[in-house]
Chain A
Amino acid sequence: MSNVPAELRYAASHEWVRKEADGTLTIGISDHAQELLGDLVFVETPEVGAHLDAGGACAVVESVKAASDVYAPVAGEVVAVNEQLADSPELVNGDAYGDGWIFRVKPTDAVAVEALMDAAAYAAHLEAEG
């Protein structure tokens, strides 16, 4: 069973979101998603400063098998990207919720994140997907 930390929020498309103290949101893909993808070999991060629409494709994670889009869980402006992934995409496999974070946004609407799934709902979502 994959790891679903209680303090995070989740999108149905398997991104996780962490609320930072400064109001920004850190975003990555869930342990379940990295496990499905297998060994990652390339991550294309968004540009810092880019404006993201909620639900829009904004990054790409590629495993040996296939490329997969990462969707913005909420609308906002990209304020940071994980530069380490350029040389070490495997960080996403090894530490999906830590060193494997992908980008950070300043949300357009500070409460939009509350509409995402909590850990219990995401765990149930995984269960339902089988």
Chain B
Amino acid sequence: MTLRRTTLHATHEAAGARMVDFAGWSMPVHYGSQIDEHHAVRRQAGMFDVSHMTVVDVDGPGARDYLRHLLANDVDKLKIAGRALYSCMLNPEGGVLDDLITYRRADGYRVVVNAATRDKDLAWMRDVAARLSGTIAPVEVRERDDLDMIAVQGPAARDLCLPLLPESLRAPAEALTPFTATEDGDWFVARTGYTGEDGFEVILPATATLSFWQALAAAGVRPIGLGARDTLRLEAGMNLYGTDMDEQISPLESGLGWTVAWTPADRDFIGRQALERQQADGVHRRLVGLVLEGRGVLRGHMSVSAGEAGQGETTSGSFSPTLGVSIALARIPADAGERVTVDIRGKQVPAKVVKPPFVRHGKALIDL
């Protein structure tokens, strides 16, 4: 199968990127050193080509009712245009189909979903729209594959990025508070991200992508590969779909209970009944952070022993460049204590249970 390419593919190759297959896309995993790239984002500014992610516009008079049924979080929390909401999209069994961000726009909504789940998500979203047809006002679900997406992240990211935005967006983008967005034409700027640092995610027309990327590079923003994106998000305690949760796992067992809007009680969202049953039966597992105390590196799918509380498993793990130790997310019994051991190639290595995030805005949030 031919891998899909983003607008910047040749630019990444020319910059010496090692390209890998990521969910059917040829994407840069690093441009030389993943650790240097990680530090660049924590200390200065880096940019990520995330054009493989899927932008979906949800419009029409039925858009609000549709999204209130489709998503576990409630888009009615978005009181005004420009606000953003993180949510899970569930199946009827309460399993996570995907996690996504919804932005309210002047007229309608914009949803950004993962690349790996693109086809499944679009099919599901269209299927749900078709099922609701007749019971709610018309809704239009439209993939925007004419748009690219670049994330600019790090303590200096906003200052370096602002002067490079279209003139009309500079003042509104500068005024953005976290988790809000502004737009003009096909340019859309959100103060969101996946690194635990300040910055923007910029959705823009594919025709403008190359010159924007080059201008950022000229301003000193380093290109960052998917490798550092993963260690940055892990330090930030952010789940990766397909790794830390999937269709078999509910948000309540994924550290995402806070994203489920239970009130108003009469909002009938997909998966609600299953989650209510699970809540009533008791949630037996929770997603926690682990800090390795012995030597080695935590990876996904390592067995975790929590003494009498039972067994669990790491879902993702790595070396943390910022902390200099190995960290992981792990799904363990809900009543596990603070001390666990992890099976690393047959050895039981001690680890401490912590509450993510591990790092936010360049600072360690846990005691080592």
Which residues of A line the B interface, CB within 8 A? Answer: 38-39, 41-42, 44, 60, 62-67, 86
Contact = CB atoms under 8 A, between A and B. Distances in A.
A60 B34 contact: no
Contacts of B231: 64
Given A64-B34, A64-B35, A66-B299, 13 more contacts: A38-B30, A38-B33, A38-B227, A39-B35, A41-B35, A41-B319, A41-B326, A42-B295, A62-B319, A64-B231, A64-B321, A65-B29, A67-B299
A88 B321 CA distance: 13
B95 to A, nearest CB: 28
B45 to A, nearest CB: 20
Interface string B308-343: 000000000011010000100000000000000000
A105 to B, nearest CB: 21
Nearest to B228: A64
Contacts of B227: 38, 64-65
Contacts of B35: 39, 41, 64
A61 to B, nearest CB: 10
Given A38-B30, A39-B35, A64 B296 contact: no
**B interface, size bucket:** 10 to 19
B120 interface: no
Contacts of A44: 295-296
Interface of B: 29-30, 33-35, 38, 227, 231, 295-297, 299, 318-319, 321, 326, 345
Contacts of A42: 295-297, 319, 326
11 contacts: A39-B35, A42-B296, A42-B326, A62-B296, A63-B34, A64-B34, A64-B35, A64-B321, A65-B29, A65-B227, A86-B295
A62 B35 CA distance: 13
B268 to A, nearest CB: 43
A44 B299 CA distance: 15
Contact of A64 (B295, B319, B345): B319
A60 B299 CA distance: 14
Contacts of A38: 30, 33-34, 227
A98 B33 CA distance: 20
Contacts of B318: 64
B297 A62 contact: yes
A60 B33 contact: no
B179 to A, nearest CB: 29
Nearest to B231: A64
Nearest to A89: B319
A127 to B, nearest CB: 18
Contacts of A66: 299
A65 B296 contact: no
B345 A60 contact: yes
Contacts of A64: 34-35, 38, 227, 231, 318-319, 321
Contacts of A39: 33-35
A28 B63 CA distance: 60
A1 B299 CA distance: 30
Contacts of A67: 297, 299
